[in-house]
Chain A
């Protein structure tokens, strides 16, 4: 039987200890010791991409160091986002199967459409590729390409994909079997008007899936297309779906000047019905914005709750793409919401800032801290090496389950990196400590650098705030 899950015996006698019924309980999880980080080869030609294991245990002598690197067999995958094979959603009561292990990383190549399944056991510092889903299989079984977001769901592993095999639309969602990781097929039964895809997430308590829009592979792979952007052709909508019937329910337009609606961060408590989504850039003034979606008497509505303005800059300090504007856009490319749904972290990849907001009242976020590092103009150094200017900016942001540690990496997407940082993104991964008072401080002991790859998404041992979802109220 073609079931490697069986041969590696993933079924446990007790529930996997990294699964928690509620987000509140997950906050009591032990601190992570290892971080798994996607690394993409800067030119996608001379070497293959790799997965890194980084020591994040402050009591370890190797704290803040790279413990291992696992090179992928092929060149040109372009690692980007990835996720766990299983998480707390396995406890969901309508399809419970919590005796599978959180053990495998599902690692898509966003350019090659190849998906690697990587085993983090028995030695969490020595990763092994145990299965490869070739692009042709994805094309044939799902009709999609360029896999992006991975979420372990209650009844399977859900992945989004940016487009069709030929690089056009529509993009959408497909499912992997959570026992043998075979592609089960396209998720949507009725996609309605949805064409563009990027991220997705859900409100499990409401049977609602939310998806966002970037662009088709043709619109992004060669770099940001100024004419597409100025023509307001990148995504500017949110889509709400019936998770159970797999049908499109409602499209919400943020307005076509709000270009590129990317990361979705819904509330973790299934009795709450709100979430935040970031918009990369406004055509009006290059500002970025965060929007709050919420359910009001059975309907989903959205409103802008944060606007981050562009910062004036000398044209000489800007890349050619931005010189005509005389300003550096914040470029909000990622956000993260703590497991208690109280703190929102927002990456400004252009200005080189990480913003922390108190969102106890979701429609009135309060900015409590701004940390600077890198940036197109500022090139702010890290406290460990105050004389060394850094480029790239805070991009992927991951938060530990207890909400006390925030990890950042600085690469966005290979061809776009070159446009905004023409001198080449020199990668770093840093960590900030988040205080209960809303403060945020860089850990001077933690600055990971490598010349070989650009670091992208971070996943934490045992889980992290953006990879777990819960069916039981906190």
Chain B
């Protein structure tokens, strides 16, 4: 069994976890507002669940489509969607306009799901699932995309999504705790680089990668 898809999923989870717009910042602010570390933990749970739901929805959709769309066209469409969303985000930054500071568990889960979807978090994972899917299904890697259309691949995606989300949860949780307890909020001013720009580039790179691998 090939390890690299797992490594890629963990790495992407860490990247999603690091992005302040994906949730850890929200967890910190709720912790500060309630003066409680428990609030951070609860918030992170909701955020991780929301993130996982969004990713899972996209992956499910992809596998479903993959069953009906010829592999070549499907791969091409996925690659173009990735590059397209990345370019659009690069040119016209937008963020969802939703919720406020008073949120319960359900609000936060939904917020995280919406945020992850709007940013294309699930889409970013698509290359790993499609290209790496073969390795999981034990299908010959000579025709990687074909395996994406196999129903078995869908079942195999569940642990993949879980691993990704766990990585996101752990990294975001650690960052939230560090900011809350040790480094303080001034780090926002000093170290918050424009993650959205890098994010958009990640989407484009993921799209190009898919095209390249296909070719």
Contacts from A to B (Cβ < 8 Å): 1, 3, 6, 11-15, 17, 19-22, 25, 91-99, 155-156, 179, 204-207, 243-244, 270-271, 471-473
Which listed residue, B97, B103, B192, touches A14 by the CB 8 Å rule?
A: B192
29 pairs from A and B in contact (CB 8 Å cutoff): A11-B93, A11-B194, A12-B194, A13-B197, A14-B193, A25-B185, A92-B101, A93-B20, A93-B26, A94-B26, A94-B100, A94-B101, A94-B103, A94-B111, A95-B95, A96-B25, A96-B95, A99-B196, A156-B97, A204-B100, A206-B101, A207-B102, A243-B100, A244-B102, A270-B101, A271-B33, A472-B28, A472-B29, A473-B33
**Closest Cβ neighbor of B29 among chain A residues:** A93
Which listed residue, A11, A207, A473, touches B100 by the CB 8 Å rule?
A: A207
Asked whether B84 is an interface residue with its Cβ less than 8 Å from the other chain, the reply is: no
**For the side of the interface on B, what is the size category?**
20 to 34
For the residues of A in contact with B, the DSSP-based class is loop
Asked whether B99 is an interface residue with its Cβ less than 8 Å from the other chain, the reply is: yes
Alpha-carbon distance between A3 and B108 when the two chains are bound, in angstroms? 32
Nearest Cβ on chain B to A338's Cβ, whole angstroms: 20
Besides the contacts A99-B194, A99-B197, what 20 more A-B pairs have beta carbons closer than 8 Å?
A6-B92, A11-B194, A11-B197, A25-B186, A92-B29, A92-B101, A93-B20, A93-B25, A94-B99, A96-B21, A96-B95, A204-B101, A205-B102, A243-B100, A244-B99, A244-B100, A270-B33, A271-B33, A471-B29, A472-B185
- Are A6 and B91 interface neighbours, CB within 8 A? yes
Nearest Cβ on chain B to A204's Cβ, whole angstroms: 6
Nearest Cβ on chain A to B204's Cβ, whole angstroms: 16
B92 neighbours in A (Cβ, 8 Å): 1, 3, 6, 179
Alpha-carbon distance between A96 and B22 when the two chains are bound, in angstroms? 10
Alpha-carbon distance between A205 and B30 when the two chains are bound, in angstroms? 9
Alpha-carbon distance between A6 and B94 when the two chains are bound, in angstroms? 12
The number of residue pairs between A and B whose CB atoms lie closer than 8 Å in the complex comes to 91
Q: Mark B178-206, 1 if CB is under 8 A from A, else 0.
A: 00000001101100111011000000000
- Are A19 and B194 interface neighbours, CB within 8 A? no
A473 neighbours in B (Cβ, 8 Å): 32-33
- Are A22 and B185 interface neighbours, CB within 8 A? yes
Alpha-carbon distance between A259 and B35 when the two chains are bound, in angstroms? 40
A92 neighbours in B (Cβ, 8 Å): 29, 101
A270 neighbours in B (Cβ, 8 Å): 33, 101
Alpha-carbon distance between A26 and B112 when the two chains are bound, in angstroms? 29
Alpha-carbon distance between A244 and B95 when the two chains are bound, in angstroms? 16
Asked whether B98 is an interface residue with its Cβ less than 8 Å from the other chain, the reply is: yes
Nearest Cβ on chain B to A273's Cβ, whole angstroms: 12
- Are B33 and A94 interface neighbours, CB within 8 A? no
Alpha-carbon distance between A13 and B96 when the two chains are bound, in angstroms? 21
Alpha-carbon distance between A3 and B92 when the two chains are bound, in angstroms? 9
Known: A25-B185, A95-B96, A473-B32. A207 touches B101 (CB 8 A): yes
Which listed residue, A6, A99, A205, touches B33 by the CB 8 Å rule?
A: A205
Alpha-carbon distance between A280 and B97 when the two chains are bound, in angstroms? 36
- Are B189 and A19 interface neighbours, CB within 8 A? yes
A25 neighbours in B (Cβ, 8 Å): 185-186, 189
Q: Mark B75-114, 1 if CB is under 8 A from A, else 0.
A: 0000000000000000111111111111100000001000
Alpha-carbon distance between A421 and B92 when the two chains are bound, in angstroms? 50
B98 neighbours in A (Cβ, 8 Å): 94-95
A97 neighbours in B (Cβ, 8 Å): 93, 95, 196
Alpha-carbon distance between A271 and B32 when the two chains are bound, in angstroms? 9
Nearest Cβ on chain A to B105's Cβ, whole angstroms: 15
- Are B197 and A95 interface neighbours, CB within 8 A? no
Q: Report, nearest first, the 5 A-B pairs whose CB atoms are least far apart.
A: A207-B100, A244-B100, A93-B26, A21-B185, A93-B25
B32 neighbours in A (Cβ, 8 Å): 472-473
Nearest Cβ on chain B to A269's Cβ, whole angstroms: 10
- Are A91 and B188 interface neighbours, CB within 8 A? yes
B188 neighbours in A (Cβ, 8 Å): 15, 21, 91, 98
Alpha-carbon distance between A473 and B188 when the two chains are bound, in angstroms? 14
B185 neighbours in A (Cβ, 8 Å): 21-22, 25, 472
Q: Mark B99-143, 1 if CB is under 8 A from A, else 0.
A: 111110000000100000000000000000000000000000000
Known: A15-B188, A205-B33, A206-B102. A155 touches B193 (CB 8 A): no
**Closest Cβ neighbor of A205 among chain B residues:** B101
**Closest Cβ neighbor of B98 among chain A residues:** A94
Known: A204-B101, A205-B101. A15 touches B93 (CB 8 A): no
Alpha-carbon distance between A93 and B189 when the two chains are bound, in angstroms? 14
Which listed residue, B28, B93, B197, touches A93 by the CB 8 Å rule?
A: B28
A17 neighbours in B (Cβ, 8 Å): 189
**Closest Cβ neighbor of B21 among chain A residues:** A96
Nearest Cβ on chain B to A225's Cβ, whole angstroms: 39
B111 neighbours in A (Cβ, 8 Å): 94
Alpha-carbon distance between A6 and B26 when the two chains are bound, in angstroms? 28
Alpha-carbon distance between A292 and B101 when the two chains are bound, in angstroms? 23
- Are A179 and B93 interface neighbours, CB within 8 A? yes
Most interface-central of B29, B94, B103 (chain A CB within 10 A): B29
Nearest Cβ on chain A to B41's Cβ, whole angstroms: 16
A98 neighbours in B (Cβ, 8 Å): 188, 192
Alpha-carbon distance between A204 and B29 when the two chains are bound, in angstroms? 12
